[in-house]
Amino acid sequence: MDDCIIIGGGPAGLTAAIYLARFHLSIRLFDAGDSRAALIPRTHNHAGYPDGISGKDLLARMLEQAEKYGATREQAEVTGLRVIEDGFGVRIGDREIGARAVLLATGVVNNRPEMPSAVHDEALARGFLRYCPICDGYEVTDKGIGVIGTGAHGAREALFLRGFSADITLIAPDAGHDIDQPHAGDLDAGGIRRVDGPCGNYAIEGNRIALDTVEGRLSFDTIYPALGSRIRSQLAVQAGARAADDGCLEVDAHQRTSIPGLFAAGDVAKGLDQISHAMGEAGVAATAIRNMLDAQKPLRR
Ligand SMILES: Cc1cc2nc3c(=O)[nH]c(=O)nc-3n(C[C@H](O)[C@H](O)[C@H](O)COP(=O)(O)OP(=O)(O)OC[C@H]3O[C@@H](n4cnc5c(N)ncnc54)[C@H](O)[C@@H]3O)c2cc1C
């Protein structure tokens, strides 16, 4: 039985792998290979890289660091997780592997506006489409920004971006806007234009991204979808772990879920969806895992 299995090889999972390998523990890391970090053309808010770094390069550097201490990443999707005597059974295809502890670092998936993948990927790579105002609102300072969303979530995203630009348009994705007070008043006070849905037919046109709306074709320097995300917590939830209504796993200050021995870190746990936060949580989780295993059976060399 391994000491720990890490599910997910994004910033959280790889940070945990570095820590746990350096604690001389026997670990495995399974990763399905679609980290949100791999979508980042260049991050400028991640500390330590004054000129920024692409998400793919950051992940490659982290994997190289983990491998230096003996950790390996196996490209595979974990399809089942169950509590067994003294630990967990982790299912990958027709194999079930046992581990005394499990760290879930499976992240989230952003809900995308409806558009062909080729348009989506090019717009993302060229900065016409962005998903994280905390990360890259700075890069669109004083630009024309469209936000696709409505309700409290859409309104909050538009208001957050108002700190970067006066030119914000909030476009409802499907039908008319549904925005309660006080958000509606705040949007009006901030001069944020509201356009009802439906919208669609996205295309890169010149140096802008354009879409059809009920008020005609509009174009922006950049668009932020505010359409929510799917939290990849189902493995833990099916095993009995407690999650919030949105699916984020509930964890304590040591990243412990409600199931003893099962930990969670990164976007899948409730918190700020940021690389730095994912890494910090993973460091806390890895140390808590080490100390839990040591308390069960002293770690000695
Ligand atoms: C376009 C974009 C730009 C961003 N820019 C920034 C930025 O500039 N700065 C910043 O701090 N943050 C940024 N973020 C957010 C950042 O990418 C995430 O907060 C971060 O990647 C979270 O790390 P994580 O390890 O929790 O999850 P992820 O990086 O999403 O990794 C989760 C991993 O788990 C794997 N996985 C999931 N389910 C399974 C399974 N069942 N079996 C095996 N593996 C599984 C996935 O394949 C994936 O590789 C951005 C996000 C996006 C989408």
Q: What is the pLDDT of residues 97-153, one digit of tens each?
A: 999 999 999 999 999 999 999 999 999 999 999 999 999 999 999 999 999 999 999
* Among 29, 157, 275, 279, residue to substitute to test ligand 1 (most atoms within 8 Å of Cβ): 275
Q: How far is CA 246 from CA 219, 230, 269, in A?
A: 32, 8, 11
Q: Is 127 helix (H, G, I), strand (E, B) or coil?
A: coil
Give the Cβ contact number of residue 57 at 10 Å.
14
Contacts of 270 (CB under 8 A, 6+ apart): 244, 248, 249, 250, 251
Pairing of strands 262-264, 2-7: unpaired
**C-alpha 298: how far from its chain's center?**
35
Contacts of 252 (CB under 8 A, 6+ apart): none
Taking the C-alpha atoms of residue 155 and residue 186, their distance in angstroms, rounded to an integer, is 9
Give the model's pLDDT for residue 171.
98
Per the prediction, the chain carries an average pLDDT of: 97
**Residue 292 banded pLDDT, cuts 50, 70, 90:** very high
Strands (E), the chain: 2-7, 27-31, 73-75, 80-84, 87-92, 95-104, 108-110, 145-148, 168-171, 193-195, 200-205, 208-213, 216-220, 222-225, 229-231, 262-264
Average pLDDT over every residue of 162-189: 97
Give the model's pLDDT for residue 301.
87
Residue nearest to atom 19 of ligand 1 (CA): 274
**Residue 189 banded pLDDT, cuts 50, 70, 90:** very high
Angle, alpha carbons 265-131-57 (nearest 5°): 65
Give the model's pLDDT for residue 270.
82
Give the model's pLDDT for residue 271.
83
Closest ligand 1 atom, residue 110 Cα: 53
**Residue 250 banded pLDDT, cuts 50, 70, 90:** very high
